[in-house]
Amino acid sequence: MIWDDDDDDDFNWDKLSEEEKAAMDREQKEEEKRMRNHPLYKQAFEILNTVNAVIESLPEQDREFHSPMLESACMLAPKFAGVFECGDWLITVQNAALMRYHAAYIATGTYGFEMYGEVDMRYVHILRQEMESYKKVFNAWMKEVHAMPHTEMDVDDEWGLFVR
């Protein structure tokens, strides 16, 4: 039995056969490859790289002021990775809301670059284009999320925010 009998539902990796371990390892690698090739995941890294370039183009004394934008850019890919193919609608839309918040913060923050500091506007224009692309890919992904079937594992949002 791969589950311990002590009522805490711990998975016991050591009780798997070598074939089962190899199969699980292959599955995990395939899922990770699908996730890394997903347009939303790729676009998140494009945004991160561009935000970083914009901030690096600023005079050193202005960089820290814009660090929250970099923090938001760092949140997009992990939030997506955390729910990629998880099958749980509630957790997925919770992460999607956080992704949307951070993306909107970045998009709005591009105007702060113009107002506060010397910046290479070419990077800012590229970032704005990337944010538009991200929004389109995000909307396509949300159609998939909203089409997720109800399962026995679905839990009502105790806060009443995310309701199907």
Residue with more model confidence, 150 or 34 = 34
| Other beta carbons within 10 Å of 157 | 14
**Residue ranges covered by each domain of the chain:** 35-146
Cβ 118 vs Cβ 62: under 8 Å? yes
Q: Give the chain's mean pLDDT.
A: 88
Q: Does residue 101 register a pLDDT over 70?
A: yes
User: Could you tell me the end-to-end alpha-carbon distance of the chain, in angstroms, rounded to an integer?
Assistant: 37
Share of the chain above pLDDT 70, in %: 92
Q: Hey, what amino acid is at 84?
A: F
pTM of the shown model = 0.83
Q: How many CA atoms lie within 13 A of 55 on its CB side?
A: 18
Q: What is the pLDDT of residues 31-45, one digit of tens each?
A: 899 999 999 999 999
Q: What is the DSSP letter of 150?
A: P
pLDDT at residue 104 in the model: 97
pLDDT, tens digit (0-9, with 9 covering 90-100), for 42-68: 999 999 999 999 999 888 888 888 899
Distance, CA of 156 to CA of 144 (rounded, Å):
20
Looking at domain 35-146, which of 2.60.40.420, 1.20.1440.60, 1.10.10.60, 3.90.1170.40 is its CATH number?
1.20.1440.60
Residues whose CB falls within 8 Å of the CB of residue 68, separated by 6 or more in sequence, listed in order = 105, 109
Separation between Cα atoms, residue 104 and residue 128, nearest integer Å = 11
CA distance 142 to 96: 8
User: Mean pLDDT throughout 78-97?
Assistant: 93
Residue 55 burial (CB < 10 Å; 0-12/13-18/19+)? Answer: buried
